[in-house]
C-alpha cells in the first residue's frame, strides 16, 4: 500500500505537486495518469525519498521510504531505465543492487530470467536497446521480491512482445496481491492494463477511480441508422431519449441500445446500424485534463 498524503513539492516557487492525496491499493494495477509535466515523476520520486516534500508525506506500508532499512525488499521501482552505468554488465548491476540490500544472489538469476535477459546478462549495458534497459529496470525493481512496485513509463521503447510481457507481469503481480503503480501519459497504454487510475494534471488530483467507472462516466450516445429516422426519433423521444438528428443518422442519448432495438422492432422500423458510442479512455482522459489548463500549476 502506497499512501500519498497532502503531498506538496516545490521547485523554487513553482508547485510541481500541489496537495496531492491518493492511495494505491494492493491487488490492483493502478495507473498513474497525467499529461507530460503533470507531476507524475516528481510524485514517484517523492515516494522514494528522492525529493523532500514542502508539505505532506508519502508512506509505504505506513513508513516513509527513507526509513526503510532494506527498502528493496519492501518496494521496487523503475524510475528511469537510463539511470544505470553503461560500463557495467546487467548481471553486475543487479548484483551490486542485490548486495546492497542483502538479497540472495539467486534472485539476480531469477529476475534475469523473468526479464528475458539471461542471454545478454554479461553484456555491458551500454550495448542495450532502450527496451532491454526497460526490462533490466523492471528486473531491478523485482529483485527484492517487494510487495509494492512502481514503474514510471515502463512501456517506453518496448516492442509489442515486450508490452505484452509487462502487461502479463503486472497482472500477475497484482493478482499475487501486490501493490502496483505505473505511470503513463497515454491513457491507451493503461486501458488494457490498469484496474484503477489516478489522474493528475498540474500537480493536482483530477480523478481517482476504477477504469470501468471512468469509461462509464464518459459513455456518450448510441448511433442509429434507420429506414425512417424521423419516425424512429419520435418513438425514442416518446420513451424519454434525447435525439439529435444528423445526416442519415441519429445520435441517441438516454436509452440503452437494446431498448432502442426493441422499440424499433415494435415500431417496425428497420435498423441499419445500432452502435453504442463509448468514449475511449483516451478521449475521457483528454476531456478530463483539458479542464485543467497548464496555468493551474503556477
Partner 1 sequence: MTHAWDAIAAEWLKLRTLRSNALLLACTLLAVLACAAVAYLIGRGFDTQTFEERLRFTGNGTGLGPGLPIAHFVLGTFGALTITSEYATGMIHTSLMAVPQRQLLLAAKIPGLAAVTLPAGQLLAFAMHLTAQSVLGERAGQILLDGQSLGIPLTDPGALTTLVAAGLSMTAAALAGLGVGATLRSTPGSLVALALLFVVLPVAVQALPAPLRAQVSAYTLAALPEEIAGTGGLLPPPAAAALLAAYPLLALTAGATAIALKRHKAAVLAAGAALTLATGLIALPATEAAPARHLAWHPCTTPGLPREMRCADLRVPLDWNHPTGRTITIPLAMLPASGTQRRIGTVISIPGGPGASGIDDLTQYQGRLDPLRRRFDVISFAPRNAVTPGGPLPHECLTTGPYLPLPRNRAEYAALARTNRAHAERCRAADPELFDHMDSASVARDIDALRAALGEPRVNLLANSYGGHPAAAYARLFPSRIRALVMDGTTSHTEDTATGEPRLYQRAERQLDRFAAWCRTDPSCALHGRDVKQVWRHLVERADRTPIPVRGDPDGTAYTGFDVKVAAAPSFTSPGREPDRPRWVQLADAIAKAADGDASGFAAYVRQATDRPKVPSPVGQNMTRCLDGGGYTGYAAYRAALAKARELSPHFAGQRAWWALACAGWPAPVTNPPAPLPGHALPPVLGVGTWTDHDEVATTIRHVPGSSTIRYDGHGHMAYLNSSSGCVTAHVNRYLTTLRLPPPGTVCPATG
* Sites of contact with partner 1 (CB under 8 A): 45, 48-50, 52, 65-66, 68-72, 77, 79-80, 82-89, 92-93, 95-97, 99-102, 140
For partner 1, the closer of residues 41 and 289 by Cβ is 41
C-alpha distance across the termini of the chain, in Å: 30
Closer to partner 1 by Cβ: residue 50 or 223? 50
3-state secondary structure 192-228: CCCCEEEEEECCEEEEEEEHHHHHHHCEEEEEEEECC
- As a dihedral over the C-alpha atoms of residue 155, residue 160, residue 162, residue 164, rounded to 10 degrees, the angle is 90
CB of 85 to partner 1, least distance (A): 5
Q: In the complex with partner 1, which residue's Cβ is closer, 86 or 240?
A: 86
Question: Between residues 95 and 259, which has the closer beta carbon with respect to partner 1?
Answer: 95
Q: How far is the CB of 125 from partner 1 (least distance, A)?
A: 10
- Nearer CB in complex with partner 1: 108/191: 108
Q: Are 203 and 39 in contact (CB under 8 A)?
A: yes
Query: Nearest distance from residue 119's CB to partner 1, in Å?
Result: 19
Cβ neighbours of residue 176 under 8 Å, at least 6 residues apart? none
CB of 183 to partner 1, least distance (A): 15
The nearest distance, CB 191 to partner 1, in angstroms, is: 29
Cα dihedral value 12, 10, 43, 20, nearest 10: -160
Closer of 150 and 250 to partner 1 (Cβ): 150
The burial class, CB within 10 Å (0-12 / 13-18 / 19+), for 269 is: middle
Do the strands 196-201 and 179-184 form a parallel or antiparallel pair, or are they unpaired?
unpaired
> Minimum distance from CB of 98 to partner 1 (Å)?
8
Instruction: In angstroms, give the least distance from the CB of 187 to partner 1.
Output: 27
- Nearer residue to partner 1 within complex by CB, 124 or 237: 124
**Half-sphere exposure of residue 65: CA atoms within 13 angstroms, side-chain side:** 25
Spatial distance between the Cα atoms of 102 and 97, rounded to a whole number of angstroms: 9
CB of residue 111 to partner 1, shortest distance in Å: 14
Task: Give yes or no for a contact between 242 and 297, defined as CB atoms under 8 angstroms apart.
Answer: no
The 3 state secondary structure assigned to 28-65 is CEEEEECCCCCCHHHHHHHHCCCCCCCEEEEEECCECH
CA 126 to the chain's CA centroid: 29
Q: At CA 196, angle to CA 193 and CA 202, rounded to 5? A: 105
| CB nearer partner 1, residue 152 or residue 221 | 152
Amino acid at each position: 500500500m502506497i499512501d500519498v498524503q497532502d503531498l506538496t513539492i516545490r521547485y523554487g516557487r513553482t508547485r510541481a505537486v500541489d496537495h496531492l492525496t491518493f492511495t494505491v491499493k494492493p491487488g490492483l494495477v493502478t495507473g498513474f495518469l497525467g499529461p507530460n509535466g503533470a507531476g507524475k515523476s516528481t510524485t514517484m520520486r517523492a515516494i522514494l525519498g528522492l525529493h523532500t516534500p514542502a508539505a505532506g508525506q508519502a508512506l509505504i506500508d505506513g513508513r516513509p521510504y527513507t526509513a526503510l532499512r532494506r527498502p528493496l525488499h519492501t518496494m521496487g521501482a523503475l524510475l528511469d531505465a537510463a539511470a544505470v552505468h553503461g560500463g557495467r554488465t546487467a548481471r553486475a548491476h543487479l548484483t551490486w543492487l542485490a548486495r546492497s540490500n542483502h538479497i540472495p544472489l539467486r534472485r539476480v538469476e531469477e529476475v534475469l530470467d523473468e526479464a528475458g535477459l539471461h542471454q545478454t546478462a554479461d553484456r555491458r549495458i551500454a550495448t542495450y536497446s532502450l527496451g532491454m534497459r526497460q526490462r533490466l529496470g523492471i528486473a531491478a525493481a523485482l529483485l527484492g521480491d517487494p510487495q509494492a512496485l512502481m514503474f514510471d513509463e515502463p512501456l517506453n521503447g518496448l516492442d509489442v512482445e515486450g508490452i505484452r510481457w509487462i502487461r502479463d507481469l503486472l497482472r500477475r503481480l497484482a493478482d499475487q496481491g501486490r501493490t502496483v503503480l505505473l505511470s503513463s501519459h497515454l491513457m491507451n497504454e493503461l486501458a488494457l492494463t490498469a484496474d484503477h487510475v489516478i489522474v493528475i494534471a498540474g500537480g493536482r488530483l483530477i480523478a481517482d477511480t476504477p477504469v470501468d467507472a471512468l469509461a462509464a462516466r464518459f459513455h456518450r450516445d448510441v448511433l442509429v441508422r434507420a429506414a425512417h429516422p424521423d419516425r424512429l426519433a419520435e418513438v425514442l423521444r416518446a420513451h424519454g431519449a434525447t435525439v439529435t438528428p444528423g445526416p442519415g443518422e441519429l445520435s441517441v442519448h438516454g436509452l440503452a441500445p437494446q431498448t432502442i432495438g426493441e422499440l424499433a422492432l415494435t415500431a417496425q422500423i428497420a435498423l441499419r446500424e445500432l452502435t453504442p458510442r463509448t468514449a475511449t479512455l483516451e478521449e475521457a482522459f483528454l476531456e478530463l485534463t483539458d479542464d485543467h489548463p497548464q496555468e493551474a500549476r503556477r
